[in-house]
């Protein structure tokens, strides 16, 4: 099955032949090469080892590739708008308001000298809402409650350094969701969280997708997590998509790279003196073509 073969109804996002290059002293390096996929109002997981191109793909969709990176694509169609050909005003109207992105570490995404609640309220006012201070605060409080933060009044008045990592992640999710986006890109949103908080964050995202009808791109290293949480999975290696499968059938995947990732997972049922290691093989790129 190709990466573009399955979506739930009309695609919300269609990416065709996406390539991201970075110039180096020895020439151009392709961090993403020829990536194509479609997304409906569903949960799409993207997995692969570090450096496989997962985060670069997410940033390229939003036009957040840092210079001197170069992005080329036949098309990045979001709800009928080709983001590769949209002008700056059109991109500003979409970015944040209709497509949001939760970065890996909230401590680096939140303004350290600005109160948490003011940052969430600012996000509400910044994306086309003609809201006064009182309305923005009310909506911010509602979002803090929606992401299951106890005592939202206290958290609203707190600074980022006064909240835990798990709470910081939920604050970032509240900030990205308050404009009511149609698509959320979540880049390793649970990697630094303990298991209990991780499950809480996933439940929040799951509720938002089902209740709001959003599309979700969930970037992660955790194969077991993606298999249990997402609807479909893209497996990336060397900047390319090697395999696409339904999440519930991920552990039946047959591509050698995917099997290698799965075999590297520790298991209490199969204790081993030494975990298998994954050897890089350029031939995997040909197998995935």
Check residue 6 and give its pLDDT. Answer: 45
* Average pLDDT value for the chain: 87
Check residue 165 and give its pLDDT. Answer: 80
Of residues 208 and 21, the one with the higher pLDDT is: 21
pLDDT digits (tens, 9 = 90+) for 167-197: 888 899 899 989 889 999 999 887 767 788 7
Task: Provide mean pLDDT across the span 259-277.
Answer: 75
- pLDDT band at residue 162 using 50, 70 and 90 as cut-offs: very high
The pLDDT of residue 260 is above 50: yes
CA distance 74 to 71: 10
Helices (H), strands (E): how many in the chain?
A: 11, 11
Most confident range, picked from 10-24, 85-99, 138-152: 10-24
What is the side-by-side order of every strand in the sheet holding 99-102?
99-102, 183-187, 215-220, 43-47, 232-237, 240-246
- How would you write 82-148 as a 3-class SS string? ECCCCCHHHHHHHECCCEEEECCCHHHHCCCCCCHHHHHHHHHHHCCCCCCHHHHHHHHHHHHHHCC
Task: Provide mean pLDDT across the span 68-97.
Answer: 92
Of residues 9 and 73, the one with the higher pLDDT is: 73
User: In b/e form, how buried is each residue of 54-68, taking b as 16+ CB within 10 angstroms?
Assistant: bbbbbbbbbbbbeee
Check residue 7 and give its pLDDT. Answer: 47
CA distance 102 to 105: 9
pLDDT digits (tens, 9 = 90+) for 93-102: 899 899 999 9
State the pairing for strand pair 232-237/215-220.
unpaired
The pLDDT of residue 107 is above 80: no
DSSP state of 252: G
Q: What is the pTM of this model?
A: 0.88
pLDDT digits (tens, 9 = 90+) for 4-45: 444 446 899 999 999 999 999 998 999 999 999 999 999 999
Check residue 196 and give its pLDDT. Answer: 80
Element (H, E) at 276: none
Check residue 288 and give its pLDDT. Answer: 58
């Amino acid at each position: 099955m190709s990466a573009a073969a399955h979506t739930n109804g009309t695609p919300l996002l269609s990416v065709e032949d996406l390539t991201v290059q970075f110039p180096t002293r020895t020439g151009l390096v392709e961090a993403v090469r020829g990536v194509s996929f479609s997304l409906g109002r569903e949960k799409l997981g993207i997995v692969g080892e570090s450096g496989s191109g997962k985060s670069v793909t997410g940033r390229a969709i939003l036009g957040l590739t840092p210079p001197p990176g170069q992005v080329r694509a036949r098309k990045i169609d979001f709800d009928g708008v080709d983001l590769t050909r949209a002008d700056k005003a059109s991109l500003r109207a979409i970015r944040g308001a209709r497509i949001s992105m939760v970065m890996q570490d909230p401590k680096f995404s939140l303004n350290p000298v600005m109160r948490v609640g003011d940052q969430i309220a600012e996000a509400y006012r910044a994306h086309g809402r003609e809201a006064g201070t009182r309305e923005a605060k009310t909506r911010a409080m509602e979002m803090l409650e929606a992401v299951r933060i106890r005592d939202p009044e206290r958290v609203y008045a707190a600074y980022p350094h006064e909240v835990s990592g798990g709470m910081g992640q939920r604050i970032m999710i509240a900030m990205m969701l308050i404009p009511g986006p149609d698509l959320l890109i979540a880049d390793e949103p649970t990697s630094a969280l303990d298991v209990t908080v991780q499950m809480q964050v996933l439940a929040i995202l799951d509720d938002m997708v089902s209740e709001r009808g959003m599309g979700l791109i969930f970037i992660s290293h955790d194969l077991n997590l993606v298999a249990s949480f997402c609807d479909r999975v893209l497996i990336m290696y060397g900047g390319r998509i090697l395999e696409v499968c339904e999440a519930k059938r991920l552990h039946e995947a047959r591509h050698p790279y995917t099997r290698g990732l799965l075999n590297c997972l520790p298991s209490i049922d199969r204790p081993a003196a030494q975990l298998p290691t994954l050897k890089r093989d350029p031939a995997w790129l040909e197998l995935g073509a």
